[in-house]
Structure 1
Amino acid sequence: MGKKLTEAQIERYQRDGFVYPIDAFTAEEARRYRRAMEEFEAAHGTELTRGHNFKPHLLFTWVDEIVHHPAIVDAV
């Protein structure tokens, strides 16, 4: 049994290779990550673009936190 997922979600993950939605973050964590993204966009006068989606965890510490967050990596 997974740490956060139901048996049905685990079966879907094993069958499809993905499952959503997963409640991974607290409301405060989600606000903090969104704020970090919005601060970047405001500072650079643009939204995150296609050029930012190649290994973004190497560009942004907050994305690195997301991809290594226990609620994400330990979901299954």
Structure 2
Amino acid sequence: MTEQEFIAVLAPLMEEITGNAFSPDQLDVTFGDLDIDSLNQIEIISRIEDEFDCEIEDSALRAIRTPRGLLEHISKSTSPA
């Protein structure tokens, strides 16, 4: 998965949930600073998991603070070994 593929899925999802447009320059902004509370963050991550057919461990969820962190975690978990 490329960064562009991730953003293509994430941007409309973020806009749907927050009502605000998401741009690639916001990949390193924390979810909190993007006005995404923990419940919305779980919704976003759940839908990203469905879209990219992956699962993120609960322990990893607590460590993911930014969209880039989510991208990097999914990229690691979906890369061929």
Band of TM-score, shorter chain: 0.3 to 0.5
Report the TM-score, using the length of structure 1 for normalisation.
Answer: 0.35
Whose Rg is larger? 1
Higher relative contact order (CA 8 A, sep 6+): 1
